[in-house]
Amino acid sequence: MVPQTRTAERKPASAVLAPPRSAETPSTERFELIVDDYQRRLYGFALRMTGNREDAEEIVQDAFVRAFRALGKMTDEARRELRLQPWLYTITLNVTRNRLRSKRPTNVALDALADPDALLNNTQEGPEQPEAVVERGTDLELVERALLQLPMHLRAAATLRFIEGRSHPEIAEILDQPIGTVKSHVHRAVRILRRILGPQVGRIVTAEDSVNAV
């Protein structure tokens, strides 16, 4: 399969980005449209947050079920005022948090800062080790793993900003944090990733550029 890059996806995505569908009554048919519209986005987000397809699938399913229940309990007015997309991201993030909390912590961000090589050489296998979604041993696998090394709140900020392409105000809404905090989290995430990835960054940029040129 030709490596599909986020940059390649951006154009169609913005075209698809219809104005947020108003939720109105949560009839099953209407909810079907919501599921259809947002499942890709939320799945991608959950996958990047967990590094695990099975987790991502369960998280998205849980998130939609929670959303459906919550919509059912809302007044018509609350439903009309609801901003569906950030709200769905927030639910997905909460489900992700609950789920990851029960798992062995995969966060070794501080160790990784002290010794980025330890991360790169980290071959410890086990059920909780995030599976690589991209091909093993590739540079992109390093990126994927580096992201998973970030503490949860920084990973969420970086994923929403750079992978999901959300704006600072949107992220602030999703995370329920002031914009200043979001900016500083994004910034800290990038700094840590810079240190973890080090010289790999330049190599990946060059390699991906040549792929895109072809």
Partner 1 sequence: MRCSDVELLWDEMRSGIEPKSEHVLAHLRRCKTCQHAYEQNEGVAYCLTCLPIVEPPQHLVPKILDHIKSMRQHYRSGVADHLARIASPLGNLHVAWRDTGITFLGIARDEDDDAAVAIIEHRLSRPVRICEPPAWVTGAVRAFFTTWRADLERVDISELSPFERSALHKAAEIPPGEVRSYGWIARELGAPNAARAVGQVMARNPIALFFPCHRVVDSNGALHNYAYGIDVKARILALEGYVGSGAAASDPIGAKVRA
Q: Using CB under 8 A as the criterion, which residues of the chain lie in contact with partner 1 when the complex forms?
A: 3-7, 9, 28, 31-32, 35-36, 39-40, 43-44, 47-48, 53, 56-58, 60-62, 64-66, 68-70, 94-95, 98, 101-104, 127-128, 133-134, 140, 143-144, 147, 158-159, 161-163, 167-168, 183-184, 186-187, 190, 193-194, 197, 201-202, 204-205, 208
Inter-axis angle of helices 139-149 and 200-213, nearest 10? 130
DSSP 136: T
Can you tell me the distance from the alpha carbon of 118 to that of 14, in angstroms, rounded to the nearest whole number? 39
74: nearest Cα among 38, 22, 18, 20: 22
Q: Which is nearer to partner 1, 86 or 185 (CB)?
A: 185
Can you tell me the distance from the alpha carbon of 210 to that of 200, in angstroms, rounded to the nearest whole number? 16
Q: Which is nearer to partner 1, 83 or 207 (CB)?
A: 207
Q: Which is nearer to partner 1, 118 or 202 (CB)?
A: 202
Q: What's the closest the beta carbon of residue 167 comes to partner 1, in angstroms?
A: 7
Can you tell me the distance from the alpha carbon of 167 to that of 183, in angstroms, rounded to the nearest whole number? 10
Q: Which is nearer to partner 1, 61 or 177 (CB)?
A: 61
Q: Which is nearer to partner 1, 83 or 168 (CB)?
A: 168
Q: Which is nearer to partner 1, 39 or 106 (CB)?
A: 39
124: nearest Cα among 104, 153, 95, 98: 104
Q: What's the closest the beta carbon of residue 213 comes to partner 1, in angstroms?
A: 14
Q: What's the closest the beta carbon of residue 115 comes to partner 1, in angstroms?
A: 19
Q: What's the closest the beta carbon of residue 114 comes to partner 1, in angstroms?
A: 19
Report how far apart, in Å, the C-alpha atoms of 38 and of each of 35, 64, 92, 165, 174 are.
5, 9, 11, 15, 15
Can you tell me the distance from the alpha carbon of 96 to that of 52, in angstroms, rounded to the nearest whole number? 11
Q: What's the closest the beta carbon of residue 38 comes to partner 1, in angstroms?
A: 10
Q: What's the closest the beta carbon of residue 163 comes to partner 1, in angstroms?
A: 5
34: nearest Cα among 4, 93, 73, 79: 79
